[in-house]
Chains A and B, each alone.
Chain A
Amino acid sequence: MSKHTPTVEAMVKLNNQLREELMGENKTYYEDLLTYIRTAGLFYDDHEVESLLMQILQDILSAQHDGQSAEAFFGKSPQKAADALIHNLGKASWKEIMKLTGIIFGISSFFELLNALTLPGKGINFLVLMLNGLLSFIVVGIVFHVLHRSIYAKIVKSKVLSFLVLWLACMLIIGLFVLIHVLTPPLLTLYLASPVGILMITILLVGLTIAALRRNKEDRKIWWSFLPPVYIMGLIGILSRLPLTEDWLASRNGRITAVVCIGFGLILNWVITYVNIRAEKE
Chain B
Amino acid sequence: MLYKIAGFLYNKNNTSRYYIIGEVRCDPVKQTQLLKGVLEGCVLLIVSEDEVYGYELVQTLRNYGFTEITAGTVYPLLQKLEKKDYLLSRMKPSPDGPDRKYYQITSEGMNHCREFMNQWEQLVSNVNHLIRIKGGRRP
Interface positions of A (Cβ within 8 A of B): 5, 14, 18, 51, 54-56, 58-59, 62-63, 72-78, 80-81, 84-85, 87-88
In the bound assembly, the distance between CA atoms of A55 and B53 in angstroms comes to 9
Smallest beta-carbon distance A34→chain B, Å: 14
Q: Is the pair B98, A56 in contact by a Cβ cutoff of 8 Å?
A: no
Which label, helix, strand, loop or mixed, suits the secondary structure of the B interface?
helix
8 Å CB contact of A81 from B58, B73, B83: B73
Further 19 A-B residue pairs, CB within 8 A, beyond A73-B55, A84-B76: A18-B97, A51-B101, A56-B75, A58-B98, A58-B100, A59-B58, A73-B70, A73-B71, A75-B70, A75-B73, A76-B70, A77-B72, A80-B72, A81-B71, A81-B72, A84-B79, A85-B76, A87-B76, A88-B80
Q: Does B20 contact A (CB under 8 A)?
A: no
CB of B90, distance to nearest CB on chain A (Å):
10
Measured between C-beta atoms, what is the minimum distance from A40 to chain B in Å? 14
Find chain B residues with CB under 8 A from A72 CB: 70
B33 CB to closest chain A CB (Å) equals 13
* A75 neighbours in B (Cβ, 8 Å): 70-73
Would you call B54 and A55 a contact (CB within 8 A)? yes
- The reply to whether the CB of B24 lies closer than 8 angstroms to some CB of chain A is no
A62 to B59, CA, bound (A): 11
CB distance from B16 to the nearest CB of A (A): 29
A81 to B97, CA, bound (A): 26
Decide: B75 and A85 in contact? CB cutoff 8 A: yes
Q: Mark B29-59, 1 if CB is under 8 A from A, else 0.
A: 0000000000000000000000001110010
B72 and A78 within 8 A (CB) = yes
* Interface residues in chain B, defined as those with a beta carbon under 8 Å from any beta carbon in chain A: 53-55, 58, 70-73, 75-76, 79-80, 83, 91, 94, 97-98, 100-101
Q: CB-nearest residue of chain B relative to A65?
A: B96
Q: Is the CB of A55 within 8 A of B72?
A: no
Cβ contacts under 8 Å, B54 to chain A = 55-56, 58-59
Q: Are B98 and A81 in contact (CB under 8 A)?
A: no
Please determine whether B97 and A58 come into contact, CB atoms closer than 8 angstroms: yes
Q: Do B71 and A56 touch (CB < 8 A)? A: yes
The answer to whether B97 and A5 touch across the interface, beta carbons within 8 angstroms, is no
Least CB distance from A125 to B in Å reads 47
What are some 16 contacts across the A-B interface (CB < 8 A)?
A: A14-B98, A55-B100, A59-B54, A62-B55, A73-B71, A74-B70, A74-B71, A74-B72, A75-B70, A75-B72, A75-B73, A76-B70, A81-B70, A81-B76, A88-B76, A88-B79
Residues of chain A within 8 A of B101, CB atoms compared: 51, 55
A51–B99 Cα distance when bound, in Å, is 11
Q: Which of B55, B80, B97 contacts A59 (CB 8 A)?
A: B55
